[in-house]
Amino acid sequence: MHRATDQAAPIDALPKCLTGIAGFDAITQGGLPRGRPSLVCGRAGCGKTLFAMTFLVRGATGFAEPGVFMSFEESGEDLAQNVASLGYDLPALVAQGRLFMDHVRVERAEIEETGEYDLEGLFIRLGHAIRTVGAKRVVLDTLEALFSGLSDTALLRAELRRLFGWLKEQGVTAVITAERGEAGLTRHGLEEYVSDCVVLLDNPVAGGVTTRRLRVVKYRGSAHGANEYPFLIDA
Amino acid sequence: MHRATDQAAPIDALPKCLTGIAGFDAITQGGLPRGRPSLVCGRAGCGKTLFAMTFLVRGATGFAEPGVFMSFEESGEDLAQNVASLGYDLPALVAQGRLFMDHVRVERAEIEETGEYDLEGLFIRLGHAIRTVGAKRVVLDTLEALFSGLSDTALLRAELRRLFGWLKEQGVTAVITAERGEAGLTRHGLEEYVSDCVVLLDNPVAGGVTTRRLRVVKYRGSAHGANEYPFLIDA
Amino acid sequence: MHRATDQAAPIDALPKCLTGIAGFDAITQGGLPRGRPSLVCGRAGCGKTLFAMTFLVRGATGFAEPGVFMSFEESGEDLAQNVASLGYDLPALVAQGRLFMDHVRVERAEIEETGEYDLEGLFIRLGHAIRTVGAKRVVLDTLEALFSGLSDTALLRAELRRLFGWLKEQGVTAVITAERGEAGLTRHGLEEYVSDCVVLLDNPVAGGVTTRRLRVVKYRGSAHGANEYPFLIDA
Amino acid sequence: MHRATDQAAPIDALPKCLTGIAGFDAITQGGLPRGRPSLVCGRAGCGKTLFAMTFLVRGATGFAEPGVFMSFEESGEDLAQNVASLGYDLPALVAQGRLFMDHVRVERAEIEETGEYDLEGLFIRLGHAIRTVGAKRVVLDTLEALFSGLSDTALLRAELRRLFGWLKEQGVTAVITAERGEAGLTRHGLEEYVSDCVVLLDNPVAGGVTTRRLRVVKYRGSAHGANEYPFLIDA
Amino acid sequence: MHRATDQAAPIDALPKCLTGIAGFDAITQGGLPRGRPSLVCGRAGCGKTLFAMTFLVRGATGFAEPGVFMSFEESGEDLAQNVASLGYDLPALVAQGRLFMDHVRVERAEIEETGEYDLEGLFIRLGHAIRTVGAKRVVLDTLEALFSGLSDTALLRAELRRLFGWLKEQGVTAVITAERGEAGLTRHGLEEYVSDCVVLLDNPVAGGVTTRRLRVVKYRGSAHGANEYPFLIDA
Amino acid sequence: MHRATDQAAPIDALPKCLTGIAGFDAITQGGLPRGRPSLVCGRAGCGKTLFAMTFLVRGATGFAEPGVFMSFEESGEDLAQNVASLGYDLPALVAQGRLFMDHVRVERAEIEETGEYDLEGLFIRLGHAIRTVGAKRVVLDTLEALFSGLSDTALLRAELRRLFGWLKEQGVTAVITAERGEAGLTRHGLEEYVSDCVVLLDNPVAGGVTTRRLRVVKYRGSAHGANEYPFLIDA
């Protein structure tokens, strides 16, 4: 048990970080919580990676905030190709030092040895990436790649706190994507409790028609529109 | 088996503790049960921490009752920032000795050793905090941080009774936040049975619109409004 | 296998035991089955303990039948305070020898040793209480405290039969409270099969409004109203 | 593997056994399949035991067919008392040698030794009872008491076949009561597949009102009304 | 891994096998796939065995195709009695060498030894039966009797493939009955994927009224009516 | 952890691969993602294999792109017969070197040894098939045959990434069929997250009538119609 009594911290109004996604910035009255990690969750095909990528690209091009995209499943080439139709030129941003793309391949052998991904190794690698471009924004895509081997909920909770704590210490505004689960907003149904800000993307089918929707489920420290809003990203 | 026959205790009407949350105090005809622990449960983003913090701040400022906020996930700085927009100045209350903020970090190593959090250590630490400010109100945020490692329901039930019993012995009015579960109001579906008072916060989405609601599910020893009421906290 | 062929018992009409809860006695045409244990089940806050306590208090004051309340979670003082607003003066009844309050604290160590509560010890203690006041009515609040450590359904079934059998041998009319489960009326979904009489309390929320309801799910040996009825207890 | 090729059995129309329950005998065009076991299943309080007892009492009094009631939970005295209000005089029938009541108490120790009930012992005991009164009808109340310790579905299936096969060899018409499960009509969701005839009793609540209903789910070798019918037993 | 590249097989239109069940043969434009196994699944009492038996009897009497009925639960006598009311005279068909009835009793000891039924033994026994009458049609009633001991889905899948493959090699048109599961059309929710043709029988209750229905869920290599049709078998 | 930072890849618009299924090519504005694997999932009988086969046959005959069909359950002869009614002459295509049919039989012994299928062996065999006909299109039917033995989700995720990565390296456009699961679009509810493109086939029954429908759930790098469309394949 580590003692961490914080008796007299000075109050600051919660600063925010414009994402550049017009509707989202309006609903949240200014974007994501600056310097904190946020969770963007949803089912396959709901637009999690697109949300995260737009957050980085707009940050780099509109707000002079370099970013790091750490991917655990898609390669940098695939990601670049996937967003090219939106007019995002990732290789150019990378070349200009405004974006750092890192593709981490979690190998089977690693999982078989320890049953989980080594967070310390991630911190070293991500720290290097942040320093390289002076990143103010970070994306981790996706949480499941890190913790799918952890079935003990007490341990998972502790590791999530450790990851989120480390990101806060770096002073970056972070987006972590997460897959939708059965029992809650996320796989284990507890990630959303540990997070300061939770955005849920959805693409429900009703009467054969699909609509993309976005809802800010939780936003510690800020009023926010809590309804469901249509979600559109275009360049 | 410890004998605890209580043959002839004198009757007192159940005393209450005004929370300062106007609607809630009206529904419950006087607030939470004084000197007993209450459970405030709900999903991510429903306002559990806000409810608990308001209970403490209003206690300290309006009823001259100092309080202890023991957090297992958010730091004191983050908490202060999160409620600043409501006009709550936590650092000032802390400086005036009317509030004690304690952030307990449950480390992975502790969980791996014993599989659970050590209640005795918590009692010592929380007892110290209570004595330091002469607290009449206590918040534990959140129950899951304490018991997520306990999967045996018989043990969990015994530990809950121990925690609740200890809090009663301190004579404090306590709020313990709890996460919503699948099979009941709480994770294990039994916390609500052991508690004297259970408040459920909810933020359901209907037709794309979210409303915050509050329901007093259970209140031993008191009549109370049992319907669902809109839940609003503003300064 | 113990032989227990009962070839020629004389027939008696099933005698009943007025609870003093007006609506319930009407629905059941005379109250609970006399000399048998009944199960009163429902979710947190549905009024199980209130039902059981009223059964005892009305028995002691209106029908000259002393009672024993054996509690596994609430202390005698808390129980007294909780029903004071209904005009029930438990300490007075205790002082007059018309009520015996016993608070059994199941300790963690006991559970860890054997995985379950020792029924033999309960029988000795409860037998003593019954003899002390010449009890005709008994309440056990709650079944889960006794059997939460038993996960083997065959064993649980045998132990339930043993508990119910013992209570019948004492000739007392008993109420045992039980928590609602997912898969049936009770936690394990089998307690209701072993019981002679099962009363279900409910407090559903519909359109934001809560109503307390009562239903007699099962009553061996008696016709009974099987619909849902509003459930009100007032002094 | 035991070879049991039955190449040239002569055809008999399926004989039936009137239960004496007027509605049921009409729906099934003559009652239960004679000389075969039938399953009567339903939730607590649906009237399983009442159905089975009426089948025996009417058999003994109206059709000169003596019967055996083997109970695993209720004593003969309790059973007699429970049906006295219907005008059934069990002790008289027992005294006249038209009914054999046997109460088998499955002790905890037995279960702990072998994890299940010993079918061979049951066969000996039940065989004796059948011969004593020359029984043509048999009731086993309830299946769960026999097999609650068997969790392996392949074994359970084999044991059910063995029990049903033995009953057929005795040439008795049998009713076996069974508790309702989550995943099917019965606890394990497979008892109904092994049975020749399955009757489902239900007492659903709709709009606060309960109705007793009966449905013949399955009847090998016979046409039958398959709808839900109101279910009433009166003397 | 066994190499089985089939590079240049000549195309034949998929031949079919009239069942003699008028409605079914119309929906499927000719009956079941000839020379392949089909799955007929449904809950208890839906008519699986009746469907299978009719397929055999009509084959033997109307299409000069002898058949084998291999039963794992019902004896030949019981089966004969069960279909006598439909005018099916099984003993006569058996005596004429147009039907082979085989009742396999899976004993508990066998299951306890290996945890499953021995497919090789089944092949020998079934092969003998097929040769004895020169069978063109085969029924296995029911799949669960063979595989209820197999909980590993990868093994079950392999064994299903082996059974289906063996049946194809015999050149018989086969019907295998299967019990309905929770998670799919069948117990394990995978039997329907491995099968070439899947027929679902159902007898849902709506508004208290039961209707028998049939649906061809899957039919590799053939167009077919995919709606739900009333299902009636009469002689 | 293998370092795979892709700092400056040139952007290409995402190329597509016409399937020859008219409706599908319209919805997706050009077909499946070229050079990437796509998942086609759905329940038994929804038309997965038909979709995949049409993709290959139209590729070979209309776009001069040879293909490989690797089947784990159906033999080449059965497959040929199943699509003959659509006018697909698989043996002719095989003879012309425009199609390679490979039937892999996963034996029980293999599963029992390692608990899973050996991906390396698959790569060798599939690589040989691709080179033999110069394949541009590949079908694996079905994913479950490969991974049904893998219950650890972290390992399964890693193996899926390995399979998909290998297919990308071959430069082929691949279709992998997958069975529908309870908790998501697929068995494990995670296959759809790892895939670039996910097509869901469905054949729901409403009011007794079945309709075949298709929905593009996910398509990384491309706009696409996201509604449900009728799905028809005819020659």
Please compute the mean of the pLDDT values over residues D220-224 and round it to a whole number.
88
CA distance C99 to C60: 7
Tell me which chain D residues have a C-beta less than 8 angstroms from the C-beta of E116.
154
In terms of Cβ atoms closer than 10 Å to its own Cβ (0-12, 13-18, 19+), residue C52 is: buried
Among E65, E75, E140, E144, which residue's Cα sits nearest to residue E99?
A: E65
DSSP chain F: -EE-----PPP----EE--S-HHHHHHTTSSEETTSEEEEEESTTSSHHHHHHHHHHHHHHHS---EEEEESSS-HHHHHHHHHTTT--HHHHHHTTSEEEEEEE--HHHHHHHSS--HHHHHHHHHHHHHHHT-SEEEEE-HHHHHTT---HHHHHHHHHHHHHHHHHHT-EEEEEEE--SSSSSSSS-HHHH-SEEEEEE--EETTEE--EEEEEEETTS----SEEE-----
Residue with token string 């720290």? A127
Least confident of D114-128, E52-66, F133-147: D114-128
pLDDT at C183: 63
Sequence-distant (≥ 6) Cβ neighbours of residue A109 within 8 angstroms: none
pLDDT band at D10 (very low <50, low <70, confident <90, very high): very low
Neighbours of chain F (3+ CB pairs under 8 A): A, E
Is the per-residue pLDDT at C57 higher than 50?
Answer: yes
- Residue with the larger pLDDT of the pair F225 and E80: E80
Cα B170–chain centre separation: 15
Least confident of A78-87, C170-179, C226-235, D214-223: C226-235
Phi, psi of B74 (to 5 degrees): -95, 145
Least confident of B45-49, C54-58, E154-158, F140-144: E154-158
pLDDT band at B4 (very low <50, low <70, confident <90, very high): very low
Tell me which chain B residues have a C-beta less than 8 angstroms from the C-beta of A34.
none
Could you give the C-alpha distances from D124 to A189, D131, D139, E129, in angstroms and in order? Answer: 54, 11, 15, 37
- Residue with the larger pLDDT of the pair D173 and A4: D173
Nearest to E221 among F81, F112, F182 (CB): F81
Q: What integer best gives the mean pLDDT of chain E? A: 87
pLDDT at B73: 87
CA distance B196 to B176: 12
Interface D:E, Cβ pairs < 8 A: 131
pLDDT at A111: 66
* Three-state DSSP class for residue E183: coil
HSE, CB side, 13 Å, CA atoms: give it for residue F63.
20
Which of left, alpha, beta for E208 (phi over 0: left; psi -120 to 50: alpha)? left
Residue type, B19: T
Label each residue of A51-69 as H, E or C: HHHHHHHHHHHHCCCCEEE
Our answer on whether E and C touch (3+ beta-carbon pairs < 8 Å) is no
pLDDT at B235: 45
Could you report the per-residue pLDDT of F94-106, keeping only the tens digit for each? 999 999 999 998 7
Residue type, E77: E
Taking the CB of residue C183, how many other CB atoms lie within 10 A of it? 13
pLDDT at B105: 83
Residue type, D210: T
Interface C:D, Cβ pairs < 8 A: 132
In terms of Cβ atoms closer than 10 Å to its own Cβ (0-12, 13-18, 19+), residue B12 is: exposed
CA distance B224 to A176: 42
pLDDT at E126: 97
Taking the CB of residue A169, how many other CB atoms lie within 10 A of it? 11
Question: What angle in degrees, to the nearest 10, is found between the helix axes of E119-133 and E153-170?
Answer: 20
CA distance A29 to B79: 20
Containing C200, the helix (H) or strand (E) segment is strand C197-202
* Nearest CA distance, D3 vs chain E (angstrom): 6
pLDDT at F116: 63
CA distance C93 to C78: 15
pLDDT in single tens digits along all 235 residues of chain A: 333 334 444 455 789 999 999 889 999 999 999 999 999 999 999 999 999 999 999 999 999 999 999 999 899 999 999 999 889 999 999 999 999 999 998 777 766 666 566 788 899 999 999 999 999 999 999 998 888 777 777 888 888 999 999 999 999 999 999 998 766 778 878 888 889 999 999 988 777 787 889 999 999 998 888 788 888 776 4
Whether the bond between A142 and the residue before it is cis, its omega within 30 degrees of 0, is yes
List the structure tokens of E112: 């306890």
Q: What value of ipTM does the predicted structure carry?
A: 0.87
Is the per-residue pLDDT at E3 higher than 70?
Answer: no
Among D28, D103, D94, D36, which residue's Cα sits nearest to residue D73?
A: D103
CA distance D15 to D164: 18
Q: What proportions of chain E, in percent to the nearest 5, are helix, strand and coil? A: 35, 25, 40
pLDDT at A116: 63
Is the per-residue pLDDT at C2 higher than 70?
Answer: no
Torsion of CA F200, F203, F204, F205, to 10 degrees: 180
pLDDT at D113: 65
* Nearest CA distance, E157 vs chain F (angstrom): 8
Cβ atoms E45, E203 nearer than 8 A: yes
- Closest-CA residue of chain A to F195: A44
Q: What integer best gives the mean pLDDT of chain F? A: 87
pLDDT at B185: 79
Sequence-distant (≥ 6) Cβ neighbours of residue F109 within 8 angstroms: none
CA distance C220 to F48: 55
State what percent of residues in chain C have pLDDT above 70.
89
DSSP chain D: -EE-----PPP----EE--S-HHHHHHTTSSEETTSEEEEEE-TTSSHHHHHHHHHHHHHHHS---EEEEESSS-HHHHHHHHHTTT--HHHHHHTTSEEEEEEE--HHHHHHHSS--HHHHHHHHHHHHHHHT-SEEEEE-HHHHHTT---HHHHHHHHHHHHHHHHHHT-EEEEEEE--SSSSSSSS-HHHH-SEEEEEE--EETTEE--EEEEEEETTS----SEEE-----
CA distance E107 to C83: 60
pLDDT at F117: 67
- Closest-CA residue of chain E to F205: E227
* Residues C39, C42, C45: CA angle, nearest 5 degrees: 130
Sequence-distant (≥ 6) Cβ neighbours of residue F84 within 8 angstroms: E11, E12, E13, E14, E221
Among D53, D47, D88, which residue's Cα sits nearest to residue D68?
A: D53
β partners of residue D32: D17
CA distance D31 to D22: 9
Please compute the mean of the pLDDT values over residues B209-233 and round it to a whole number.
85
CA distance F48 to F58: 16
pLDDT band at B2 (very low <50, low <70, confident <90, very high): very low
Please compute the mean of the pLDDT values over residues D146-173 and round it to a whole number.
87
Tell me which chain E residues have a C-beta less than 8 angstroms from the C-beta of D10.
91
Please compute the mean of the pLDDT values over residues C172-186 and round it to a whole number.
87
Cβ atoms A194, A37 nearer than 8 A: no
Whether the bond between F142 and the residue before it is cis, its omega within 30 degrees of 0, is yes
Least confident of D35-49, D67-81, E172-186: E172-186
Neighbours of chain A (3+ CB pairs under 8 A): B, F
- Closest-CA residue of chain B to C149: B154
* Three-state DSSP class for residue E100: strand
* Nearest CA distance, F110 vs chain E (angstrom): 8
CA distance F192 to F182: 13
Sequence-distant (≥ 6) Cβ neighbours of residue D60 within 8 angstroms: D66, D67, D93, D98, D99, D137
Among E130, E117, E222, which residue's Cα sits nearest to residue E174?
A: E130
* Nearest CA distance, E173 vs chain D (angstrom): 22
Residue type, A131: R
pLDDT at E113: 65
Containing E123, the helix (H) or strand (E) segment is helix E119-133
Among E79, E162, E78, E74, which residue's Cα sits nearest to residue E117?
A: E162
State what percent of residues in chain B have pLDDT above 70.
89
Nearest to C218 among D45, D74, D94 (CB): D45
Residue type, F181: G
List the structure tokens of D47: 């009237």
pLDDT band at B181 (very low <50, low <70, confident <90, very high): confident
Is the per-residue pLDDT at C7 higher than 60?
Answer: no
Cβ atoms D76, C5 nearer than 8 A: yes
- Contacts of F181-188 with C-beta under 8 Å, sequence gap 24+, read F182/E183, F182/E189, F183/A182, F184/A43, F184/A44, F185/A44, F185/F41, F185/F217, F186/F39, F186/F41, F186/F143, F187/F143, F187/F144, F187/F148, F188/F147, F188/F153, F188/F156
Could you report the per-residue pLDDT of E190-225, keeping only the tens digit for each? 888 889 999 999 988 878 787 889 999 999 998 888
Do the Cβ atoms of A208 and F192 come within 8 Å? no
- Residue with the larger pLDDT of the pair E193 and D207: E193
pLDDT at D145: 82
- Residue with the larger pLDDT of the pair F156 and B198: B198
pLDDT at B113: 65
Cβ atoms E139, E40 nearer than 8 A: no
Neighbours of chain B (3+ CB pairs under 8 A): A, C
